[in-house]
Amino acid sequence: MELEQMRQLDAIARTGTVSAAARELHLSQPALSRSVRRLEEELGTELFARSGRHVELNEAGRAALEWARQLLRDERLMRDAVLAAARRARALRVGTVAPAPLWRLTGLMTEAFPRETLVSETVGGDAVVRGVLDGGFDLGIVRTMPTNPLLRSCELMRERLSVTLPPNHPLASRESVRLADLAGNSFLILTDIGFWRDLVERAIPRATFIDQDDRMVFAQLARTTPHCTFVTDAPYMERELPAGRAIVPIEDEAACVTFFLVVRMGAPGLAAQLFEWVASRA
Protein backbone atom coordinates (compact mmCIF):
# COMPACT_ATOMS: atom_id res chain seq x y z
CA MET A 1 0.00 0.00 0.00
CA GLU A 2 1.54 3.32 -1.10
CA LEU A 3 1.19 6.57 0.90
CA GLU A 4 -0.95 8.11 -1.83
CA GLN A 5 -3.33 5.16 -1.65
CA MET A 6 -3.48 5.57 2.14
CA ARG A 7 -4.49 9.22 1.70
CA GLN A 8 -7.11 8.18 -0.83
CA LEU A 9 -8.54 5.52 1.50
CA ASP A 10 -8.72 8.07 4.32
CA ALA A 11 -10.41 10.66 2.08
CA ILE A 12 -13.07 8.22 0.84
CA ALA A 13 -13.79 7.10 4.42
CA ARG A 14 -14.20 10.71 5.56
CA THR A 15 -16.25 12.05 2.63
CA GLY A 16 -18.41 8.98 2.01
CA THR A 17 -18.23 9.08 -1.81
CA VAL A 18 -15.51 8.57 -4.40
CA SER A 19 -16.53 11.77 -6.20
CA ALA A 20 -16.22 13.91 -3.05
CA ALA A 21 -12.87 12.34 -2.21
CA ALA A 22 -11.65 12.93 -5.77
CA ARG A 23 -12.54 16.65 -5.49
CA GLU A 24 -10.68 16.91 -2.19
CA LEU A 25 -7.61 15.17 -3.63
CA HIS A 26 -7.73 17.11 -6.93
CA LEU A 27 -8.07 13.87 -8.91
CA SER A 28 -10.53 12.76 -11.54
CA GLN A 29 -13.14 10.30 -10.27
CA PRO A 30 -12.10 7.57 -12.77
CA ALA A 31 -8.46 7.91 -11.71
CA LEU A 32 -9.39 7.53 -8.03
CA SER A 33 -11.67 4.57 -8.78
CA ARG A 34 -8.84 2.84 -10.66
CA SER A 35 -6.46 3.46 -7.78
CA VAL A 36 -8.96 1.92 -5.34
CA ARG A 37 -9.34 -1.13 -7.55
CA ARG A 38 -5.55 -1.53 -7.72
CA LEU A 39 -5.37 -1.33 -3.92
CA GLU A 40 -8.07 -3.98 -3.52
CA GLU A 41 -6.25 -6.21 -6.01
CA GLU A 42 -2.97 -5.77 -4.09
CA LEU A 43 -4.63 -6.64 -0.79
CA GLY A 44 -6.66 -9.46 -2.32
CA THR A 45 -10.01 -8.33 -0.93
CA GLU A 46 -12.73 -5.71 -1.39
CA LEU A 47 -12.55 -2.84 1.07
CA PHE A 48 -15.91 -1.15 0.48
CA ALA A 49 -19.59 -1.96 0.54
CA ARG A 50 -21.02 0.03 -2.37
CA SER A 51 -24.58 1.38 -2.54
CA GLY A 52 -25.17 3.75 -5.46
CA ARG A 53 -22.76 6.66 -5.16
CA HIS A 54 -22.23 6.04 -1.44
CA VAL A 55 -19.37 3.79 -0.32
CA GLU A 56 -18.81 2.42 3.16
CA LEU A 57 -15.82 0.53 4.47
CA ASN A 58 -16.42 -3.13 5.18
CA GLU A 59 -14.59 -4.98 7.98
CA ALA A 60 -11.45 -5.44 5.89
CA GLY A 61 -11.60 -1.80 4.84
CA ARG A 62 -11.85 -0.60 8.44
CA ALA A 63 -8.79 -2.65 9.34
CA ALA A 64 -6.90 -1.21 6.36
CA LEU A 65 -7.96 2.34 7.30
CA GLU A 66 -6.73 1.95 10.88
CA TRP A 67 -3.27 0.91 9.67
CA ALA A 68 -3.29 3.55 6.93
CA ARG A 69 -4.03 6.38 9.36
CA GLN A 70 -1.34 5.18 11.74
CA LEU A 71 1.20 5.11 8.90
CA LEU A 72 0.06 8.56 7.70
CA ARG A 73 0.60 9.92 11.20
CA ASP A 74 4.08 8.38 11.22
CA GLU A 75 4.74 9.86 7.78
CA ARG A 76 3.75 13.34 9.00
CA LEU A 77 6.03 12.99 12.03
CA MET A 78 8.87 11.85 9.77
CA ARG A 79 8.28 14.77 7.40
CA ASP A 80 8.27 17.25 10.29
CA ALA A 81 11.53 15.80 11.56
CA VAL A 82 13.11 15.96 8.10
CA LEU A 83 11.99 19.56 7.58
CA ALA A 84 13.33 20.52 10.99
CA ALA A 85 16.68 18.94 10.12
CA ALA A 86 16.62 20.72 6.76
CA ARG A 87 16.08 24.08 8.44
CA ARG A 88 19.04 23.39 10.69
CA ALA A 89 21.13 22.55 7.63
CA ARG A 90 19.93 25.69 5.80
CA ALA A 91 18.46 23.60 3.00
CA LEU A 92 15.88 25.25 0.76
CA ARG A 93 12.42 23.66 0.88
CA VAL A 94 10.85 23.35 -2.58
CA GLY A 95 7.32 22.27 -3.49
CA THR A 96 6.93 21.06 -7.06
CA VAL A 97 4.21 19.67 -9.32
CA ALA A 98 6.59 17.50 -11.38
CA PRO A 99 10.12 16.03 -11.21
CA ALA A 100 11.74 17.52 -14.33
CA PRO A 101 11.62 21.21 -13.31
CA LEU A 102 12.95 20.28 -9.88
CA TRP A 103 15.97 18.69 -11.55
CA ARG A 104 16.38 21.85 -13.62
CA LEU A 105 16.25 24.02 -10.48
CA THR A 106 18.76 21.75 -8.74
CA GLY A 107 21.16 22.12 -11.66
CA LEU A 108 20.87 25.91 -11.61
CA MET A 109 21.40 26.02 -7.86
CA THR A 110 24.50 23.85 -8.20
CA GLU A 111 25.92 26.32 -10.73
CA ALA A 112 25.38 29.38 -8.55
CA PHE A 113 25.41 27.99 -4.99
CA PRO A 114 27.33 24.68 -5.06
CA ARG A 115 27.52 24.34 -1.27
CA GLU A 116 23.77 24.66 -0.70
CA THR A 117 21.15 21.91 -0.73
CA LEU A 118 17.41 21.58 -1.11
CA VAL A 119 14.68 19.22 -0.01
CA SER A 120 11.56 18.76 -2.09
CA GLU A 121 7.99 17.53 -2.00
CA THR A 122 5.78 16.74 -5.01
CA VAL A 123 2.26 18.07 -4.45
CA GLY A 124 -0.55 19.73 -6.42
CA GLY A 125 -0.26 23.28 -7.73
CA ASP A 126 -2.63 24.77 -5.14
CA ALA A 127 -0.65 23.13 -2.34
CA VAL A 128 2.58 24.55 -3.77
CA VAL A 129 1.19 28.09 -3.78
CA ARG A 130 -0.23 27.73 -0.25
CA GLY A 131 3.09 26.36 0.96
CA VAL A 132 5.06 29.30 -0.46
CA LEU A 133 2.59 31.81 1.01
CA ASP A 134 2.57 30.29 4.51
CA GLY A 135 6.31 29.61 4.63
CA GLY A 136 6.12 25.82 4.36
CA PHE A 137 8.13 26.08 1.12
CA ASP A 138 10.90 28.57 0.36
CA LEU A 139 10.27 28.16 -3.39
CA GLY A 140 7.58 26.56 -5.50
CA ILE A 141 7.32 25.14 -9.01
CA VAL A 142 3.91 25.37 -10.71
CA ARG A 143 2.38 25.11 -14.19
CA THR A 144 0.37 28.34 -14.09
CA MET A 145 1.88 31.73 -13.31
CA PRO A 146 0.27 32.87 -10.01
CA THR A 147 -1.63 36.15 -9.94
CA ASN A 148 -1.31 36.64 -6.17
CA PRO A 149 0.42 40.01 -5.54
CA LEU A 150 2.33 38.48 -2.62
CA LEU A 151 4.24 36.21 -5.00
CA ARG A 152 6.91 36.67 -7.64
CA SER A 153 7.30 34.23 -10.51
CA CYS A 154 9.52 33.59 -13.52
CA GLU A 155 9.70 30.94 -16.23
CA LEU A 156 11.85 27.96 -15.21
CA MET A 157 11.57 25.55 -18.17
CA ARG A 158 9.28 23.98 -20.75
CA GLU A 159 8.58 20.28 -21.20
CA ARG A 160 6.81 18.33 -23.96
CA LEU A 161 5.45 14.80 -23.57
CA SER A 162 6.04 12.06 -26.15
CA VAL A 163 5.06 8.40 -26.30
CA THR A 164 7.53 5.63 -27.11
CA LEU A 165 6.18 2.69 -29.10
CA PRO A 166 7.46 -0.74 -30.15
CA PRO A 167 8.57 -0.61 -33.81
CA ASN A 168 5.64 -2.81 -34.90
CA HIS A 169 3.01 -0.62 -33.22
CA PRO A 170 0.33 0.73 -35.64
CA LEU A 171 1.18 4.31 -34.60
CA ALA A 172 4.97 3.94 -34.72
CA SER A 173 5.30 5.54 -38.16
CA ARG A 174 3.26 8.63 -37.25
CA GLU A 175 4.97 12.01 -36.99
CA SER A 176 2.76 12.88 -34.02
CA VAL A 177 -0.29 11.58 -32.17
CA ARG A 178 -3.04 12.90 -29.96
CA LEU A 179 -3.66 11.40 -26.53
CA ALA A 180 -7.03 10.09 -27.71
CA ASP A 181 -5.24 8.10 -30.46
CA LEU A 182 -3.62 6.02 -27.71
CA ALA A 183 -6.94 4.69 -26.40
CA GLY A 184 -6.93 1.07 -25.28
CA ASN A 185 -3.13 0.70 -25.06
CA SER A 186 -1.11 -0.56 -22.12
CA PHE A 187 1.59 1.69 -20.66
CA LEU A 188 4.59 0.98 -18.46
CA ILE A 189 4.66 4.16 -16.40
CA LEU A 190 6.99 5.66 -13.82
CA THR A 191 4.94 6.28 -10.69
CA ASP A 192 6.49 9.56 -9.56
CA ILE A 193 5.76 11.83 -12.54
CA GLY A 194 3.62 14.40 -10.73
CA PHE A 195 0.68 15.91 -12.60
CA TRP A 196 1.53 14.02 -15.84
CA ARG A 197 -0.02 10.85 -14.38
CA ASP A 198 -3.43 12.43 -13.86
CA LEU A 199 -3.27 14.01 -17.33
CA VAL A 200 -2.71 10.74 -19.20
CA GLU A 201 -5.25 8.84 -17.08
CA ARG A 202 -7.91 11.46 -17.86
CA ALA A 203 -7.08 11.89 -21.53
CA ILE A 204 -6.47 8.31 -22.74
CA PRO A 205 -9.65 6.20 -22.75
CA ARG A 206 -9.55 2.53 -21.72
CA ALA A 207 -5.80 2.60 -21.03
CA THR A 208 -4.01 0.19 -18.70
CA PHE A 209 -1.16 1.56 -16.59
CA ILE A 210 1.55 -0.70 -15.18
CA ASP A 211 3.36 1.17 -12.41
CA GLN A 212 7.08 1.05 -11.67
CA ASP A 213 8.33 3.27 -8.86
CA ASP A 214 12.06 2.60 -9.21
CA ARG A 215 13.56 4.89 -11.86
CA MET A 216 16.52 2.60 -12.63
CA VAL A 217 14.31 -0.47 -12.98
CA PHE A 218 11.90 1.50 -15.15
CA ALA A 219 14.74 2.60 -17.46
CA GLN A 220 15.85 -1.03 -17.88
CA LEU A 221 12.34 -2.34 -18.56
CA ALA A 222 11.55 0.52 -20.98
CA ARG A 223 14.18 -0.76 -23.43
CA THR A 224 12.45 -4.09 -24.01
CA THR A 225 8.84 -3.74 -22.86
CA PRO A 226 6.11 -4.56 -25.41
CA HIS A 227 4.02 -1.80 -23.80
CA CYS A 228 4.01 1.92 -24.56
CA THR A 229 5.94 4.31 -22.31
CA PHE A 230 6.18 8.07 -21.93
CA VAL A 231 9.24 10.32 -22.20
CA THR A 232 9.72 14.07 -22.31
CA ASP A 233 12.23 16.41 -23.86
CA ALA A 234 13.51 17.49 -20.45
CA PRO A 235 17.33 17.52 -20.57
CA TYR A 236 17.76 14.81 -17.91
CA MET A 237 15.66 12.40 -20.00
CA GLU A 238 18.13 12.34 -22.89
CA ARG A 239 20.23 9.55 -21.39
CA GLU A 240 17.08 7.49 -20.69
CA LEU A 241 15.59 7.45 -24.18
CA PRO A 242 15.01 3.81 -25.12
CA ALA A 243 16.86 2.62 -28.24
CA GLY A 244 15.00 0.73 -30.95
CA ARG A 245 11.62 2.30 -30.21
CA ALA A 246 9.64 4.94 -32.04
CA ILE A 247 9.45 8.22 -30.12
CA VAL A 248 6.31 10.06 -31.25
CA PRO A 249 5.49 13.58 -29.97
CA ILE A 250 2.04 14.16 -28.50
CA GLU A 251 0.44 17.16 -30.15
CA ASP A 252 -2.27 17.98 -27.55
CA GLU A 253 -1.83 21.44 -26.06
CA ALA A 254 -1.90 19.90 -22.57
CA ALA A 255 1.18 17.82 -23.44
CA CYS A 256 3.39 20.93 -23.69
CA VAL A 257 3.85 22.60 -20.31
CA THR A 258 5.62 25.71 -19.06
CA PHE A 259 6.83 25.59 -15.46
CA PHE A 260 7.24 28.68 -13.30
CA LEU A 261 9.41 29.23 -10.25
CA VAL A 262 7.57 31.03 -7.43
CA VAL A 263 8.90 32.87 -4.38
CA ARG A 264 7.22 34.99 -1.73
CA MET A 265 7.61 38.77 -1.99
CA GLY A 266 10.32 39.88 0.38
CA ALA A 267 11.69 36.36 0.84
CA PRO A 268 15.06 36.56 2.58
CA GLY A 269 18.46 35.11 1.85
CA LEU A 270 19.14 32.16 -0.38
CA ALA A 271 15.57 31.74 -1.68
CA ALA A 272 15.56 35.28 -3.12
CA GLN A 273 19.11 34.92 -4.46
CA LEU A 274 18.32 31.67 -6.26
CA PHE A 275 15.11 33.12 -7.68
CA GLU A 276 17.04 36.12 -9.09
CA TRP A 277 19.63 33.74 -10.59
CA VAL A 278 16.95 31.67 -12.31
CA ALA A 279 15.14 34.79 -13.55
CA SER A 280 18.37 36.10 -15.05
CA ARG A 281 18.80 32.84 -16.99
CA ALA A 282 15.26 32.76 -18.41
CATH of the domain at 24: 1.10.10.10
Count how many Cα atoms sit within 13 Å of the Cα of residue 3 in the half-sphere of its side chain: 13
Same domain, 241 and 169: yes
Q: Binning pLDDT at 50, 70 and 90, where does residue 33 land?
A: confident
Same domain? For 61 and 116 the reply is no
- At residue 85, the pLDDT reads 67
Residue 85 inside a domain? The answer is no
Q: Do 183 and 213 reside in the same domain of the chain?
A: yes
Q: What is the pLDDT of residue 87?
A: 59
**pLDDT for residue 271 is more than 70:** yes
> What is the model's pLDDT at position 1?
60
- Same domain for 207 and 113: yes
Instruction: For residue 227, tell me if it sits in a domain.
Output: yes
What's the per-residue H, E or C state across 191-204? CCCCHHHHHHHHHC
Average pLDDT over the chain reads: 87
- Same domain flag for 160 and 274: yes
Report d(CA 241, CA 13) in Å as an integer. Answer: 41
Whether residue 151 has pLDDT greater than 90: yes
Q: 231 and 185, same structural domain?
A: yes
Does a structural domain hold residue 254?
yes
User: pLDDT by residue (tens digit) across 53-63?
Assistant: 677 889 998 89
Q: Which of the four pLDDT bands, split at 50, 70 and 90, describes residue 162?
A: very high
| pLDDT band, very low/low/confident/very high, at 203 (cuts 50, 70, 90) | very high
Task: Over range 80-109, report the average pLDDT.
Answer: 82
Task: State whether 266 and 186 are in the same domain.
Answer: yes
Q: Is the dihedral of CA 264, 269, 271, 274 positive or negative?
A: positive
57 and 164, same domain (yes or no): no
CATH of the domain at 210: 3.40.190.290
What pLDDT is recorded for position 261? Answer: 97
Inter-residue contact 100 to 141 (CB < 8 Å): no
74 and 145 within one domain: no
Residues 186, 46 share a domain:
no
Report residue 236 CA to chain centroid gap.
Answer: 17
How many domains does the chain fold into? 2
Query: How confident is the model at residue 242, as a pLDDT?
Result: 62
Residues 40 and 104 in one domain: no
Give the model's pLDDT for residue 140: 97
The better pLDDT of the pair 177, 88 is held by 177
Query: pTM of the entire structure?
Result: 0.63
Do 96 and 164 lie in one domain? The reply is: yes
Q: Quote the domain boundaries for residue 238.
A: 90-282
Q: Euclidean distance between the first and final Cα of the chain, in Å?
A: 41
- What number is the average pLDDT over the span 70-80? 84
Higher per-residue pLDDT: 117 or 192: 117
CA dist 208 and 201 (Å) reads 9
